[in-house]
Amino acid sequence: MTLFITAKDVQSVLTYPLSLKTVEAAFKAFGQGKAYQPPKSYLTFKYGDLRSMPAYINAPGMNIAGIKSVTVHPDNHKKFDLPTVMATILLTDPRNGFNIAVLDGTHITNIRTGAAGGVATKYLSRKNSKVMALIGAGAQAYTQLHHIMLTRKLKEVRVHARSEASMNKFCVEMSKEYPKVTFLPKPDGKKACRGADIITATTPARKPIIKKSWIDPGTHINGIGADAAGKQELETALTKSCKIVIDEWQQASHSGEINVPVSRGKLRKKDIHAELGEIIAGEKKGRTSDNEITLFDSTGLAIQDVSTAFVVYQALMKKRKKPKHTKLF
């Protein structure tokens, strides 16, 4: 029987440590050639788009396939009181083609994206990193912070966003959750970035908002916001000065942080240091100097969705096998 798994079900079992561990394992499998995915395809509408994301993972403890349908409509909160991003994930048993589960994928999408930033920070930032600048204070900023806090002992988080209210709200809420960390709203993006060990950008910007002159040697940057052609958060001169690590070439060159420089002939494939999975699998080295500037270009891979959905399915199945008075669905 195909299980239908709601957002509430997902939230009941998907923790930040679990998502971090799962996404790291998925990237490693991809780096070892044990995970497969075509680049995401797009249907573009007047006010947004629909993306199709299939994947198959055949690694120890995880033999699963699936596909995510995800929509991105930036003005949804204004017009319809709906999230910008909404998704559904279909899990398929590759042994027989049976669809074992249909999951609400919105929460999974948000969490697994944050996990990718956390994994990249673990492998690419300096181990003694204490200060992070968050550029953007929307939903994704929260999940990035939660996962990065699992990998680095931050002491200060600077938050820069267009909305003063969102900056203040983020700082007040997260100060309660992490009382030992100082959260500072920073209306000036330059002041937010200067001296930061880690910079995580989660905006939908189509023109660069972070300049090379703002970045100190040794900084690690997570470029999360660029997920469609034409989006760009970092000025090209900054991107070119970094040791660039991507999640996957076809997606990154089409819709990641590097897509604009690549389309303009400013960057080529040979300028990319590695895919994150190659570093996790030990095929290539990550950070090799405390002075180099590293950049992780995250576009969001289907292997993240399918692996995370599968561990959610497994966790719920375990709960389902408990005494009958335990009601799950």
Q: Which residues are annotated as catalytic?
A: 68
Do residues 25 and 118 lie in contact, with contact meaning Cβ atoms separated by under 8 Å? no
Question: Please, what sign has the CA dihedral across residues 275, 276, 281, 287?
Answer: positive
Residue recorded with tokens 């049976």 = 98
* H or E stretch at 182: strand 182-185
Record the tokens describing residue 304, joined without a space: 């993240």
DSSP annotation of 221 reads: E
Structural tokens at position 85: 């991003």
Beta bridge partners of 62: 59
Spatial CA neighbour of 136 closest among 208, 198, 225: 225
Query: Among all chains, which residue has been given the structure tokens 């590759």?
Result: 94
d(CA 266, CA 136): 26
Query: What sign does the CA torsion over 287, 290, 292, 293 have?
Result: positive
